[in-house]
A and B are shown apart, each in its own frame.
Chain A
Amino acid sequence: MHGPDTAVDVHDLSRTFGSFIAVDKISLQVAKGEIFGFLGPNGAGKSTTIRMLCGLLMPTGGGGTVGGYDVRTEPEAVKNVIGYMSQKFSLYDDLTVEENINFFGGVYRVPRDKKESRKAWVLEMAGIGDKKSVLTGTLPTGFKQRLALGCAVLHEPPVLFLDEPTSGVDPLSRRSFWNLIREMAESGTTIFVTTHHMEEADYCDRLALIYKGRIIAEGAPMELRQHYMKRDILEIEADKTVEALEVLLREGVDNAIFGSTLHATVEDAETSARRIREVLESSGIAVERIEKVMPSLEDVFVTLIEAS
């Protein structure tokens, strides 16, 4: 996956701060047009990695290219081919919507003849065509987020970095945001996204999990579920969910409420299912359904982090 079809290609990328190793020899390849999810708990090295990929921070070891430019020797060129949007919606609240668009169009040097059409595109994409002269600070969060995205891609960058782009945004806006991202990827933009929301990881084509500066797992969401999850997940539907939870916990079964059902993590689905049914029914709880389900990515990552 090297060569002209690779948007991000780094090898043994490392960064130390004094004696602290923030990022430890990570290698990543992201194909053009791919949505690549970069996950990990706080302090795992996510931001440090992104900062190096964006040309903001010099790696202390390893290196590679982003958008075809060397992150060590051509950081300024890298900045011209990337878009960047963070959780903080880095727009100017005291500028109007249009002034923000003009500003970012100016610093990204959008060609004069394209400026108007790009502006119209951003306004339409964010759904604020009639709010050009409104102060950005007064927009609802969801609109602001999409305006920030629009400003970050005014210059149509081949690679787009999104750093926790949906935190603080309501679920509906989040969904429409991801639809936008999907459209951009389909038109050839490479998306590199970090997120905390595990359900969002499913929107990605491929994922990498970083923990303590190292990548501990990598693959498509489905692959990760099948490959890394050694234990089975049982979904239990019973008439008294909370009582059932307590009964099972007393029996030493690791389980938690998942919607209106319970999810139990067990070694073997077949034998455990039988035992759980017996235990619950002997306590007077009617069991409607017990079945083995696909583990969520959250289950996978918790297991992986506990194992490492």
Chain B
Amino acid sequence: MFERIKYLAIKEFIQLFRDRKRRVLIIISPLIQLFLFGYVATLDVDNVSTALLDLDRSQESRELVRRMEASGYFTITNRPASQKESGYLLDKGAVLVAIQIDNGFSKDIKRKAAPAQLQVLVDGTDSNSALIAMSHVASIVGRFSHDLAAPATINAPQTDFRTRVWYNPDLKSRNFLLPGVIALIMLLTCLMTTSMAVVREREIGTIEQLMVTPIRPLELVLAKMSPSAAIGFGQMILVTAVGVLWFHVPIKGSLPFLFLCTGVYLLSILGIGLFISTISKTQQQAMMASFFFFQPTVLLSGFVTPIENMPLGFQYVTYFSPLRYFLVIVRGIFLKGVGLDVLWPQVLALLLLGVAIFALSAMRFKKRLA
């Protein structure tokens, strides 16, 4: 049995790496994706273009603006002359935030009769960025009024609000996204290589020849999976290395544990790939089907959008996405440095899901061969 699997696997590796297009797909495309996610797809809200309309022109108003610029979150790019002009800048998309400090701002602060007024207009088209920008404004303004109040009322009741962010203290979205990119790249490439490896034989008619040899269906499945599994591990190593060495993504957990979990994750992917091969007649169909599976799997995984924000029905569907569990695992390993003691529910779920998918697909594959 192992002799036959060995020769089948050798053949698969030769075929996989002989085709130049496939070599590019396997090695270059993960790197392109990694660099795109590393540089382009950032969820961070920094250096927000801000319009400032300071009608007060006081020491206090200047102090507030100074603090905003010093935070690094805001850059004053425009100084409109009127409220109308501020609105125009927002309409045009030239600025994301428009701040207006009315005349009397400093007077109100000094008199302490009425709360001083400050108007912040935020472009809510991109709701996520708008929310983040608003929270930055709120915290700067909060700090500002706290500091103003402090000298005067020493014994005033106050809450000392200090946040400390764990695991990703700089709140860099890159650190959050890149470990997930590993999972995504493995998913797409391995789905395609697995399903196409089987369908290619069917398309050119060699599957018939294989079936009259003493090769058994399970041997064929295992041999067909081996290059995909190797590619999966290879990409994991490549992307992790570039992520850690180039993008300085921290990796706090254990590498062997990461390998182990990658293996469990691959079980599900290869199973789905095998399933796709049983429903596709041509390589094009297999490729289409791979994308068709890829999109919902990613959307329902919590890669970008938190699962808790999805409608309840969809939240249940996410339990069938292997990516959902693996994302928790890789982020846990990379950012939190946790191991099996914390992640065992995800590892177990992923294992059960993988075994189920793989067994069902292998059975279906065997039936399709006969």
Contacts and interface: CB of A to CB of B under 8 A. Distances in A.
B213 A79 contact: yes
A103 interface: yes
Interface stretch (B13-21, B46-54, B292-300, B305-313): B13-21
A102 B204 CA distance: 20
A95 B215 contact: no
A76 B209 contact: no
Contacts of A80: 214
A44 to B, nearest CB: 19
A153 interface: no
A128 interface: no
A93 B212 contact: no
Given A86-B208, A107-B213, A108-B214, A92 B15 contact: yes
A67 to B, nearest CB: 13
A296 B204 CA distance: 36
A156 B138 CA distance: 83
Contact of B11 (A56, A58, A92): A92
A175 interface: no
Interface stretch (B2-10, B60-68, B74-82, B247-255): B2-10
B206 A103 contact: no
B15 A109 contact: no
A56 B207 CA distance: 12
A92 B212 contact: no
Interface string B6-41: 111011001100110000000000000000000000
Contacts of B205: 86, 88, 90
B216 interface: yes
Contact of A109 (B4, B209, B216): B4
A90 B7 contact: no
Interface string A86-119: 1010111111000100111111110000000000
A108 B6 CA distance: 12
A144 to B, nearest CB: 13
B214 A107 contact: yes
Contact of B7 (A56, A91, A107): A107
Contacts of A39: none
B211 A56 contact: yes
A142 B11 CA distance: 24
Contacts of B19: 94
Sort chain A's interface into a size bin.
Answer: 20 to 34
Contact of A95 (B3, B14, B210): B14
B370 interface: yes
A82 interface: yes
Contacts of B216: 76
Given A94-B18, A95-B14, A84 B212 contact: yes
Nearest to B220: A107
B213 A108 contact: yes
A255 to B, nearest CB: 41
Interface string B332-370: 000000000000000000000000000000000000001
Contact of A90 (B10, B208, B215): B208
Contacts of A88: 205, 208
A54 interface: yes
Interface string B212-246: 11111000000000000000000000000000000
B117 to A, nearest CB: 74
Interface in A173-209: none
Given A84-B209, A90-B206, A109-B3, A95 B214 contact: no
Contacts of A57: 370
B214 A76 contact: yes
A90 B214 contact: no
A274 B346 CA distance: 94
B209 A94 contact: no
B180 to A, nearest CB: 35
27 contacts: A54-B212, A56-B212, A56-B370, A57-B370, A76-B216, A79-B213, A79-B214, A90-B206, A90-B209, A91-B206, A92-B206, A93-B204, A95-B14, A95-B15, A99-B11, A102-B7, A103-B7, A104-B213, A106-B3, A106-B4, A106-B6, A106-B7, A106-B10, A108-B214, A109-B3, A109-B214, A161-B212
Interface of A: 54-58, 76, 79-80, 82, 84, 86, 88, 90-95, 99, 102-109, 161
Interface of B: 3-4, 6-8, 10-11, 14-15, 18-19, 204-206, 208-216, 370
